[in-house]
Amino acid sequence: MDTLEKAPPVKRDRPWLIRTYSGHSSARASNALYRTNLARGQTGLSVAFDLPTQTGYDADHQLARGEVGKVGVPICSIEDMEALFEGIPLEQMNTSMTINATAPWLLSLYIAVAEKQGADISALQGTVQNDIIKEYLSRGTYIFPPQPSVKLATDVITYTVRNIPKWNPTNICSYHLQEAGATPVQEMAYALSTAVTILDSIRDSGEIAAEDFADVVGRISFFVNAGIRFVEECCKMRGFVEMWDRIAEQRYGVTDAKLRRFRYGVQVNSLGLTESQAENNIQRIVLEMLGVVLSKTARARAIQLPAWNEALGLPRPWDQQWSLRIQQVMALETDLLEYGDLLDGSPVIAAKVKALCEGAEAEMARVAEHGGMVRAIESGYVKRELVASQTARMRAIESGELKIVGVNCYTDSADSPLTSASDGGIMKVDPAAEREQIERLTAFRARRDPEAVKQALEALTAAARSGANVMPASIACAHAGVTTGEWAGALRAIFGEYRAPTGIDGVVATRSDSARIQALRERTRNTGEQLGRPLRLLVGKPGLDGHSNGAEQVAVKARDAGFEVVYEGIRLTPHQLATAALEEGVHLIGLSVLSGSHAELVTEIRKELDELGLSRVPVIIGGIIPEADAVALKAAGIAAVYTPKDVDLNRIMSELVDIIRNANGLDPYEAAA
């Protein structure tokens, strides 16, 4: 019998970098999680920082109360950074850090730790997001006005190009633009306009010689979103590749094709994850991943997948492992990496790519007419466009035009065993984590050399005032024992702080002729007449949570329903919100908290309201709030709790009218038909 010849080995492309986005509670707890994930086959780290770290506050600051360790790891000093990477050789690791306003500082801490490990700094590999421009449009973790913020971002880029050549010094992040409502055309246009703004700033600064500028262009990377319409997402990515190649060649004169590559990482769409029938999120995540891996010429270089239960709360280690295994099965078990580009030559794909590129180029031209991305942010143009797009999306979900399985269709479901466990299917941060972090911070301050800290901060201040690159002084601050709050505080004293436009004033609500919305407006008007003036709603974003999409949509819808709306944007203290409620004479306060700090913030706000004699003003809250917490909040006097499953804004508005009526001794209306 003839021996069968062995088939030649199949040549496979190397898989993308496999990450999970994680960090919580404390540096030591996060370190244990990182080492576990690396042992399970993760090939890079992606660090999530808590909100105080992202916005430049120490753990004991008033605004940090209730926020420490909730959405990421708290980093107050070099001691925390050392604990975070204990046992992980940084010279051998590829680390991504999602950090923006404080990116120069967190990178400085990372470099300082690497130096203490004895690493060759020029060999470090990784990424800092360092895309401050989109923070004014979506996540809200900006600190300073746009112009000095762009200068700090370019400081990071020019420093790393010279000293850490393998580092990606900015990750232009369209991910959060899509989360804020951007269409594929808007996502492409605003991300590429942001990249142009940053590169123009570096070129015009004169800090990089003309002959070296192509290397700067080559280090620009992107971080994108991928939604459930995975065919369109595939086309979007191919469009990004084409447009970036043209921009790099035609605008910046880059002749080396390798330096014109559109290098990007991705996290698939968290906006599309649902609280209702959360198990459906698994297939959503897999399908969304196809959008960034099918096309070889536009394939992601690094991927991190959300966990199935992120609309419920903080994922557990097992949930993150599930997302990790999805990537590993796609990369190792399927034959995807054995072929060239599967979409080349398709006229359908080519036509869609062409349409997306033409739309994006037209929107980029409109941004340029407004004076570029910074001016378009300061004027409120881009924010208004995003709020309008998100409003259109919410209206489509409400009407059923946009179908979401388990949310507005096929809503009947058996009980899920995934969420029936005693932990509710999520991880909860130990309430002691904040107190313990403050204790560590206090002890660290007591041990350090105060004179060294003083001199380091003086050098940082001098660099910032003179316009010099702040990175060398920031690295010296890290070694001297300066804290996150002190670093940011020194720069706040120079640059000031900033409040971005909310975007809701320019959105004209589309008035529906449906009987339901007309009845709702009539009830709002009648109730106002009975109380002697129009109903007034205060929409508030307390604490450091800057994800304002939900608050903006509630504000827009409330105006459409006949309310007068007071909305002053993000990052307000409980005292500021209570004072606004008093000064504006509101009938109802609606809070939006997505960071998990709802219990602490509600307690503080109720205390402030009581002190101002406003204890009878009803308070509602919306956010990612576990059922057990919702029960506790209602028991504490909160009139209603809304979570991501509550997408019918007409119903919510009707309930708000009844809450106001009940608080003022009026009989409630029947539920709107």
Sign of dihedral through CA atoms 260, 293, 90, 455?
Answer: positive
CA atoms within 13 A on the CB side of 582: 15
**Which residues share a beta bridge with 37?**
none
Residue with tokens 């050789």: 89
B/e letters for 190-229, b = 16+ CB within 10 Å, e = fewer, are: bbbbbbbbbbbbbbeeebbeeeebbbbbbbbbbbbbbbbb
Stretch (H or E) spanning 500: none
Measure the CA–CA gap between 591 and 621, rounded to whole angstroms: 5
What's the length of the chain? Answer: 673
Measure the CA–CA gap between 15 and 13, rounded to whole angstroms: 6
**Which residues share a beta bridge with 170?**
220
Measure the CA–CA gap between 54 and 50, rounded to whole angstroms: 6
Measure the CA–CA gap between 130 and 145, rounded to whole angstroms: 15
Q: What are phi and psi of 324, to 5 degrees?
A: -60, -45
User: Looking at the annotation, which residues are catalytic?
Assistant: 21, 175-176, 541, 545, 547
Is the separation of the CB atoms in 571 and 55 below 8 Å?
yes
Q: What are phi and psi of 303, to 5 degrees?
A: -135, 135
Burial class from Cβ neighbours inside 10 Å (0-12, 13-18, 19+) for residue 236 reads buried
**Tally of CB atoms within 10 A around 3:** 5
Which residue type sits at 617? V
Which residues, 6 or more positions from 329, have their beta carbon under 8 angstroms from its beta carbon? none
